[in-house]
Every structure is written in structure tokens, then in C-alpha cells.
Amino acid sequence: MNDQLQRPYPRNRDRSIEMLPLRTQSQLSPPTCAVCGSRNVRPFSTIYGRGTTFYTRIKGIILKHGYERTKRQSVLANKCSPPMKLPWSPSILVLLLYFGAQWGANRWLHFSYLFELAEFYLGWGSLLLAMAAGVNNFGFYPQRMSAWGRSYFCERCGSCTTLER
């Protein structure tokens, strides 16, 4: 039976064979600091979660008309914060300006080349902003988030360690 390939869900339901998930050796051993070798390391997610607090307060004296949300964060939690996605709103805003310039050129000024030049630059600008946000959000962001999930902070020497996959 040991000669056969072990499947994640064996057909014979033999409970004597203990199956481990496929991981690298660095993930099986407890994380240690790459600089000083200390085991007193904490994941970035824990540091970020414990160092960040959100306060929600209802605004208004007599009529409660809104909420105010504030965020307090320690310096270490700010340095260990997760990566952020780029917003899509600048490209949408520039695209709306492009359509406004196109509408203004067609509606009022048929002779001005300034609107045609603005249309050209605003159109390509919105396209480039959307491509930059798309490349970051779908290409680089998952890699950065994976590296953030594998990153640890050493409390002894203050260095950052990232485990291999």
C-alpha cells in the first residue's frame, strides 16, 4: 500500500495513513527570523488587526442624521498594513470629462481645435488610468497580498521575514 500513490481522498477509507497537505519545508516548521533566528515573530495580519481600531459615532444633537467613522492606527500597524487596490474612480472621472468635452465640441464650438485636443488627451488618459488600475488590481495585487500573508515581523531585532511558498 505504501508503493501506491496516495490520493487526497483515498477510496479505501484507511484511517491509519495520515496524509499531510502539500507544503514546503519552511511552512511546516514554525516561522523563525531570517536575521537573528528568533522564533518570537508575529504575522503582519495580527499586528495590523491588533494595532488598528475603528470608532463609529452617530452625528447629530437632536436628530441622529449620520455616522462618522474614524480609524486609529499605531505606527507599526501602519507599516504592516495590507496592500491596497487602485481605485477605478479616476479613470471614470476622466472618461466623463472626455464625454463632456466631446459633447461641448459637438454642441457649441465646431471650429475650436482646443476641444479636439482635449478629447484626444482625455480619451487616452482615461484608457491609461483604467489599464494601470486593471494591471495592478488583477496582476500585482494578488502577488502582493500573498506575500503579505506570508510576512512576519521579528519582535527581537525588528526585521521582516517572508516565508517561501
User: Alpha-carbon distance 34 to 140, whole Å?
Assistant: 25
Greatest mean pLDDT among 37-41, 102-106, 134-138 lies in 134-138
The one-letter code for the residue type at 78 is N
Provide φ and ψ at 85, rounded to 5°. -80, 150
Please name which of 136, 54, 48 lies closest in space to residue 87, comparing C-alpha atoms: 136
Domain boundaries, the chain: 40-81, 82-158
Assess whether pLDDT exceeds 70 at residue 23. Answer: no
Q: Do 152 and 41 contact (CB within 8 A), yes or no?
A: yes
For position 79, what pLDDT does the model report? 84
150 pLDDT band, cuts 50/70/90, is confident
User: Lowest-pLDDT range, 23-27, 53-57, 68-72, 118-122?
Assistant: 23-27
**What is the predicted pLDDT for the residue at 35?**
83
Mean pLDDT, all residues of the chain: 76
**Nearest alpha-carbon partner for 106 in 116, 96, 97:** 116
Taking CA atoms, 82 is separated from 87, 90, 100, 148, in Å, by 15, 22, 37, 6
Q: What is the pLDDT of residues 77-99, one digit of tens each?
A: 888 888 888 888 888 888 888 88
